């Protein structure tokens, strides 16, 4: 148990180093754009694919569970929209990104550690944590909300396609459902969650990679640990954020 407190303490000490003023603005900006491409733009494909099909599955399952003739069909669209905005896109996609992006961050930083590239930065007088991790945090926190908006949109679109192809819900009913009783705060809640999860996806894997010791096998183990812990922290934070932001 005492070890967990040690890790948490070390994580916050790492964050203190990360959030120092970057040594050179032009290099920092360059790094942010590179990270946006590596961590954000390169994730859009998988996010789009998963969101489209899961949107379809959500509509089919909701339609099959709302088979009472009294229940209006537009509720299928409404329920699908709400589940995509509130939970599926911000949380499930974040867990998928914890796997894809988290393992990438840990293995790239971990490899730099075991091949002494981080030592090379330190010897030059560069704050390696700030140089390597801060651009990743900024890229994640500011770009992931866009990824999640794409996910929500494609999920809803996938639902519409599935509803039409299966004949479970008409286009008119579905569109009416997704437009009815829209609560803008739910979108705000979704974006807040996304930004918090994006921070976690950047920092926990960076921590695991930065402090890795050994060689290739240890980097692999650190990547696995990073994905596991990032997913756990996302699930726990999801509960507390929901309680704080939506709980009465």
Partner 1 sequence: MIEVRNLNKEFDGVQVLKGIDATFENGKTSLVIGTSGSGKTVFLKCLLGLIQPEKGDIIYDGQIYNEMSNNEKRDLKKDIGMVFQGSALFDSSTVEENVMFPLKMFTNQPYEEKLERVNFVLDRVNLQNANKKFPAELSGGMQKRVAIARAIVMNPKYLFCDEPNSGLDPKTSTVIDNLIQEITKEYNITTIINSHDMNSVMEIGEKIILLKHGVKEWEGTNDEVFKTDNESLVDFVYSSNLFKKVREAQLRQDNSGS
Binding-site member from 41, 64, 120, 244 for partner 1 (CB under 8 A): 120
Which range, of 87-95, 120-128, 178-186, 204-212, touches partner 1 by CB under 8 A?
120-128
**How far, in Å, CA of 243 to CA of 87, rounded?**
13
Q: Is the dihedral of CA 29, 31, 33, 39 positive or negative?
A: negative
Contact predicate 32/135, CB 8 Å: yes
**Complex with partner 1: residue 122 or 218, whichever CB lies closer:** 122
Considering the rule CB under 8 A, would residue 126 count as an interface residue with partner 1?
yes
Considering the rule CB under 8 A, would residue 27 count as an interface residue with partner 1?
yes
Total residues binding partner 1 (CB under 8 A):
14
Binding-site member from 25, 69, 125, 167 for partner 1 (CB under 8 A): 125
CA distances from 213 to 54, 77, 95, 186, 220 (A): 39, 51, 26, 43, 11
Considering the rule CB under 8 A, would residue 123 count as an interface residue with partner 1?
yes
Which range, of 81-89, 119-127, 216-224, 227-235, touches partner 1 by CB under 8 A?
119-127
Three-point CA angle 6, 195, 189, nearest 5°: 120
Considering the rule CB under 8 A, would residue 24 count as an interface residue with partner 1?
yes
Which range, of 44-52, 117-125, 177-185, 219-227, touches partner 1 by CB under 8 A?
117-125
Considering the rule CB under 8 A, would residue 10 count as an interface residue with partner 1?
no
Considering the rule CB under 8 A, would residue 116 count as an interface residue with partner 1?
yes
Binding-site member from 6, 10, 13, 23 for partner 1 (CB under 8 A): 23
Secondary structure element (H or E) that encloses residue 233, with its range? helix 216-246
**How far, in Å, CA of 46 to CA of 48, rounded?**
5
**How far, in Å, CA of 205 to CA of 226, rounded?**
5
**How far, in Å, CA of 125 to CA of 145, rounded?**
34
Which range, of 91-99, 124-132, 196-204, 207-215, touches partner 1 by CB under 8 A?
124-132
**How far, in Å, CA of 202 to CA of 99, rounded?**
11
**Complex with partner 1: residue 111 or 170, whichever CB lies closer:** 111
Collapse the DSSP code of 23 into the 3-class scheme (helix H, G, I; strand E, B; otherwise coil) and give the result.
coil
**What residue ranges bind partner 1 (CB under 8 A)?**
23-24, 27, 111, 115-117, 119-120, 122-126
């Amino acid at each position: 148990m005492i070890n967990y407190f040690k890790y948490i303490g070390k994580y916050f000490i790492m964050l203190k180093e990360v959030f120092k003023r970057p040594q050179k603005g032009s290099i920092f900006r360059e790094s942010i754009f590179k990270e946006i491409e590596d961590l954000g733009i390169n994730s859009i494909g998988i996010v789009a694919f998963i969101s489209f099909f899961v949107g379809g599955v959500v509509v089919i399952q909701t339609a099959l569970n709302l088979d009472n003739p009294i229940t209006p069909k537009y509720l299928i669209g409404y329920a699908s929209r709400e589940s995509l905005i509130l939970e599926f896109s911000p949380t499930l996609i974040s867990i998928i990104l914890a796997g894809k992006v988290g393992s990438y961050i840990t293995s790239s930083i971990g490899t730099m550690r075991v091949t002494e590239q981080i030592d090379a930065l330190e010897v030059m007088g560069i704050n390696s944590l700030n140089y390597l991790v801060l651009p990743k945090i900024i890229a994640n926190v500011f770009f992931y909300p866009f990824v999640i908006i794409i996910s929500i949109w494609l999920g809803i679109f996938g639902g519409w396609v599935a509803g039409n192809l299966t004949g479970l819900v008409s286009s008119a009913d579905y569109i009416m459902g997704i437009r009815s009783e829209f609560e803008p705060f739910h979108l705000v809640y979704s974006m807040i969650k996304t930004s918090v999860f994006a921070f976690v996806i950047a920092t926990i894997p960076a921590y695991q990679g930065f402090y890795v010791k050994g060689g290739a096998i240890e980097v692999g183990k650190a990547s696995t640990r990073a994905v596991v812990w990032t997913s756990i922290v996302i699930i726990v934070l999801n509960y507390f954020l929901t309680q704080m932001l939506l709980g009465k």
